[in-house]
Amino acid sequence: MTLSTPRIYIQGKKAYRKDLGTLRPMGSAIKVAKKLRERLGTELLHIIDLDAMKGNKSNYDIYDHLTFIMYIQVEVRPDPRMINPLLEMGARVVIELPTELDLKQFAEKKRLLIGKIAPNYKGSLDDVFDVYLDGESEPKVKELQKKNKRVLVNKRQNAKNKKVFARIGSPEI
């Protein structure tokens, strides 16, 4: 079964969706997440934290709350000060690869690490559990699956492959 995973952007505790490159407000992040859970049965929510990308943890109290109602994965910059608190609360963390950060320091929580890669990525995936392939490449999906990685893709990419773990896209509510 492939999960349909809504992608929202959070800034200042508010949720946004991206339409044609423009962020559109959706409301309170917690209320939006609850609505996605209730209306669409969302089990996994993909969050791009625009504040955390700048080193600000102002939205982390939201994630602590959300981990009790659904699984969340949060894209943040590769900084242990940003990653550790998320791992401690049970949130999945998306880290763009390649990174200079030594991911081995998170070995105990590896199951919560997701490496975000482009189709031409050739580096190691040993320190992440899942892989988010950001780009169209059926051969790369198959290569990752042969390595026993759960693969997440963008909703409108890699459509032929029905065995991906999740399809990430803009919420349709």
**Beta pairing class for 166-169 and 14-19:** unpaired
Q: What is the pLDDT along the chain (173 residues), one digit of tens a residue?
A: 899 999 999 999 999 999 888 999 999 999 999 999 999 999 999 999 999 999 999 999 999 999 999 999 999 999 999 999 999 999 999 999 999 999 999 999 999 999 999 999 999 999 999 999 999 899 999 999 999 999 999 998 877 777 899 999 999 77
- 94 bridge partner residues: 75, 114
Range of the structural domain that residue 129 is part of = 3-169
- Position 1 scores a pLDDT of 83
Nearest-angstrom CA–CA distance, 147 and 91:
24
Q: What are the backbone angles phi and psi of residue 162, rounded to the nearest 5°? A: -90, -5
3 Cβ contact partners less than 8 Å away, ≥ 6 residues apart:
43, 44, 165, 166, 167
- Domain with residue 29: its CATH number is 3.20.20.70
Q: Which helix or strand (DSSP H or E) is residue 138 part of?
A: helix 138-146
Handedness of CA 50, 52, 53, 55 (dihedral sign): positive
Instruction: Give 100's DSSP letter.
Output: S
The domain tally of the chain equals 1
22 Cβ contact partners less than 8 Å away, ≥ 6 residues apart:
none
